[in-house]
Amino acid sequence: MAPHPTTNVISEIRENIEREEYTSESIDIFAIEQSELSSENWVFIPEKERRVFYKMKVNNPPLKTFYKNRAPIKTNKDEVFIVDAEDVSKYKLENEIIKPKIKGKEEIDKWNLKWDGKYVIYPYVLKNGRTSPVNIDDYPNVKKYLDDNISTLEIRNKERYFKDSGKEWFEPMESAKS
């Protein structure tokens, strides 16, 4: 019977604990200066990696600097509101209301963004701290694209829950709250 994997790791630690540094597939052994331990979050990584980490941290602000956590957008017609780069180019959709579609935990990892290259038509602007629908006439290419898909949108727009929502014909069902 093979030893439990934890037993192997503990044995590996015992064999190498006296070394100043040791790295394997399972563990990293390294020293940390006590002066580096403060009331801030502690980062336990080897010195070489720590220098890179801090460089990245200083030169690249966290995602929350650029993005406020919002409720998801519910379009009820993704086939119209979700577009790819080809659609954006073909219809010359105005960038101001075309946003990269990022689907939360499915596409965001701690160190990586797995964006699928899709965009969402987000016909809103921020006014006085509130999200408001745009004047769709100010975005003639987006308006034409949506007009070209009006038969799909009309199905949704006839449904009672959409009628009762007070939304304009070109709005997703629920927008992200500000």
Kindly report, residue by residue over 129-146, the tens digit of the pLDDT: 788 899 999 999 999 999
> Which ranges of the chain does DSSP label H, i.e. alpha helix?
5-16, 47-59, 78-81, 85-91, 140-148, 150-158, 160-163
pLDDT at 175 > cutoff 60: no
pLDDT tens digit string along 26-43? 888 888 888 878 888 787
pTM for this model (two decimals): 0.59
One-letter identity of residue 136:
I
Pair 22, 16: CB distance under 8 Å: yes
Query: Tell me, what's the pLDDT at 121?
Result: 94
Pair 83, 93: CB distance under 8 Å: yes
Locate 145 and state its tokens. 């694209």
Percent of the chain exceeding pLDDT 70 equals: 83
Place of tokens 């408001």: 132
Residue 58 vs residues 36, 42, 53, 64: alpha-carbon distances, Å: 16, 16, 9, 14
Contacts of 50 (CB under 8 A, 6+ apart): 43
